[in-house]
Amino acid sequence: MHLLVTGGAGFIGSHVIRHFLGAHGDCRVTNLDSLTYAGNLANLRDVEDDDRYRFVRGDITDGEFLMQLFAETRFDGVIHLAAESHVDRSIANPTAFVQTNVLGTVNLLNAAKASWEKDFSGRLFYHVSTDEVYGSLPAGDGLFTEESPYDPHSPYSASKASSDHCVRAYHDTYGLPVVISNCSNNYGPFQFPEKLIPLFINNIQLGKPLPLYGKGENVRDWLWVEDHARAIDTIYHHGTIGETYNIGGHNEWSNISLVRLLCRIMDERLGRDEGSSEKLISFVTDRAGHDLRYAIDASKLKRELGWVPSITFEEGIRETVDWYLSNGEWLEEVTSGAYQDYYDAHYGKR
Ligand code: NAD
Ligand code: TDX
C-alpha cells in the first residue's frame, strides 16, 4: 500500500503518517508538503529514516506539478490534509485559504482522477475536513450529524466547505472513489502554538497574558489527535466509498472552563502557587464571526465501524502539557522569527 499524504509535515498529518507506518508493516508513505509556516519536518524526526517514508516538497496549488507526481508514482490512496488551517489567519488573509483549500484540492482531485482513469489505480481519495463547515450550534442544544446542512461562517470554514463540495462532485460526476470525514477540534503534541491550547501553554510558561476572545463562553468539542489518526485509518480501510463520517470526542468545553483547567495543571507542573496562572487570563475583543458552539455526533462512526476515543480529556490534556514542557526546543524553534511578527500583529491590537 503506497499512500500519498498531503500536509504530512503539519500537526495532524504528522500523527497520521506516524500512525499508518506504525500500524501497517506493508505501508509506504509519500509526504507531500510545501512547508508553510505550519509545516515542520521536525514533527517527523522519528520516521524520517524509515525506508518506507519519503518526503516531497511541493505545493498543491501547482496543478502541473501534481499531474507529474501522479504520473511518476502509482499511489494506492490519497489522504488529503494539506490546508491553511487557522481561522484567525483566514480573517486576515482569506485569499490564501481559497487558493490552497479550494484550488489546491481541485488540483489534487484532477491529478487523482487522471491516474484513476488511466489504470484504475488509487483505491481511495480521502478528504480530511472539519466540523466548522456545519456552522454554529446554540448553547447546550443539538449536535452536528452527517446530515446537518452546511453553514460556514469564516473564510476558513467556507473554503473547507467548498473543498468538501468539490470532492463530492468528483465522486458524483466522475465516479472518483472518495470518502470525507469532518472532525472536531484536535489537541496534542506538535500543534502549532497559534491554536488555543499550545498558545496558552506557551504563554503561561512565559508569564504572558492569555487572550481569551469575548467572554470565553464559546464551546469546542476536543479530540486527542492520535484518536483522529486512528479514526482516519478505520475509515480509510473500512469506510464506504462516497460516504461522510463525523469524528468527535463527545467532549465539550467552554473556552473559559478549558483555560481554567489548563491553568490548574500548569500551576501543578511548574510548582507555582495555585491560582497564579489564572491571573494571566485577559478578556479581549471577540473574533469576528466567532461560532458559538461546535459539537459532533460521532455515533455513525461508532455504530458502523466501531471507532471510539481511546483516552479521556483529563488524560490527554495532561499528556499534552507534559509534551510541551519537555519539548522546549521544538517550541522555541517554532515561536521564533515570523511567529513573533504574527503574534504582535494579531494580539498587539487587542
Ligand atoms: P496544520 O496547519 O498544522 O498543517 C497543514 C499542513 O499543510 C502544513 O504542513 C503545511 O505546510 C501544509 N500546506 C499548507 N498549504 C499547502 C500547500 N499549498 N501545498 C502543500 N502543503 C501545504 O493543520 P492541521 O491542524 O494539521 O490540519 C490538517 C487538516 O485537518 C486540515 O485540512 C484541516 O482543515 C483539518 N482539520 C483540522 C482540525 C484541527 O483541529 N486542527 C480539525 C478538523 C479538521
Ligand atoms: O487566542 C485565542 N483566544 C481564544 O479565545 C485563540 C487562538 C482562540 N480562542 C478561542 C477561539 C475558539 O473559540 O478558542 C477556541 C479555539 O480556537 P482555535 O484553537 O483557533 O480553534 P478553532 O477556531 O475552533 O478551529 C480549530 O478547530 C477546527 C482548528 O484551528 C481548525 O483547523 C479546525 O478545523
- Nearest atom (ligand 2) to Cα of 129: 34
Residue 80's pLDDT is what? 98
In the chain, what percentage of residues exceed pLDDT 90? 97
Q: Residue 290's Cα: distance from chain center in Å?
A: 18
Residue 158's pLDDT is what? 98
The closest of 158, 136, 31 to 84, measured between CA atoms, is 158
CB-based contacts of 147, cutoff 8 Å, min separation 6: none
Specify if 304 maps to a domain: yes
Specify if 277 maps to a domain: no
**Full strand arrangement of the beta sheet holding 219-224:** 185-187, 219-224, 252-254
User: CATH number of the domain that 50 lies in?
Assistant: 3.40.50.720
Q: Per-residue pLDDT averaged across 86-96, rounded?
A: 98
Specify if 100 maps to a domain: yes
pLDDT at position 122 over 80: no
How many Cα atoms are found within 13 Å in the side-chain-facing hemisphere of 302?
11
Ligand 1 mean position, distance from CA 335 (Å): 18
Q: Per-residue pLDDT averaged across 128-137, rounded?
A: 98
What nine digits make up the cell of 277?
496562572
Sign of the torsion formed by the C-alpha atoms of 31, 33, 38 and 42: positive
Residue 282's pLDDT is what? 98
Continuous segment of H or E residues that includes residue 196: helix 196-206
> What are the tens digits of pLDDT across the range 171-216?
999 999 999 999 999 999 999 999 999 999 999 999 999 999 999 9
Residue 72's pLDDT is what? 95
- What is the count of structural domains for the chain? 1
For 56, counting Cβ atoms within 10 Å of its Cβ (0-12 exposed, 13-18 middle, 19+ buried), the class is middle
| DSSP string for residues in 299-340 | HHHHHHH----SS-HHHHHHHHHHHHHH-HHHHHHHTSTHHH
pLDDT band at 118; cut points 50, 70, 90: confident
Q: Which of 81, 87, 160, 287 to mutate to test the pocket of ligand 2 (most atoms within 8 A of CB)?
A: 87
In the chain, what percentage of residues exceed pLDDT 70? 99
Length, in residues, of the chain: 350
SS3 130: strand
pLDDT at position 88 over 90: yes
What nine digits make up the cell of 192?
502549532
* Structural contact between residues 204 and 277, judged by C-beta atoms closer than 8 angstroms: yes
At CA 94, angle to CA 90 and CA 96, rounded to 5? 100
Specify if 90 maps to a domain: yes
At CA 270, angle to CA 257 and CA 342, rounded to 5? 65
The closest of 156, 157, 237 to 148, measured between CA atoms, is 157
Specify if 215 maps to a domain: no
User: At which residue does the C-alpha cell 461522510 appear?
Assistant: 244
Residue whose CA lies nearest to ligand 1 atom number 44: 130
> What are the tens digits of pLDDT across the range 229-266?
999 999 999 999 999 999 999 999 999 999 999 999 99
Which residue type is seen at 37? Y
Specify if 217 maps to a domain: no
Establish whether 236 is a catalytic residue: no
CA distance 226 to 209: 29
Residue 349's pLDDT is what? 63
Specify if 135 maps to a domain: yes
Which residue type is seen at 249? G
The closest of 96, 25, 343 to 195, measured between CA atoms, is 343
Q: Per-residue pLDDT averaged across 287-299, rounded?
A: 98
Roughly how many angstroms between the first and final C-alpha of the chain, as a whole number?
A: 49
How many Cα atoms are found within 13 Å in the side-chain-facing hemisphere of 286?
11
- Nearest atom (ligand 2) to Cα of 219: 13
Residue 350's pLDDT is what? 63
What nine digits make up the cell of 342?
504574527
Continuous segment of H or E residues that includes residue 46: none
Establish whether 156 is a catalytic residue: yes
Residues touching ligand 1 (Cβ under 6 Å) are: 7, 9-13, 33-36, 38-39, 59-61, 81-85, 100, 104, 128-130, 160, 183, 185-186, 192
Residue 119's pLDDT is what? 79
> What are the tens digits of pLDDT across the range 29-72?
999 999 999 999 999 999 999 999 999 999 999 999 999 999 99
SS3 labels along 244-308: EEEECCCCEEEHHHHHHHHHHHHHHHHCCCCCCCHHHEEEECCCCCCCCECCECCHHHHHHHCCC
What nine digits make up the cell of 287?
473574533
CA distance 287 to 209: 17
Range of the domain at 166: 2-191+222-250+288-310
Other Cβ atoms within 10 Å of 215 Cβ, number: 11
Q: What is the ipTM of this complex?
A: 0.99
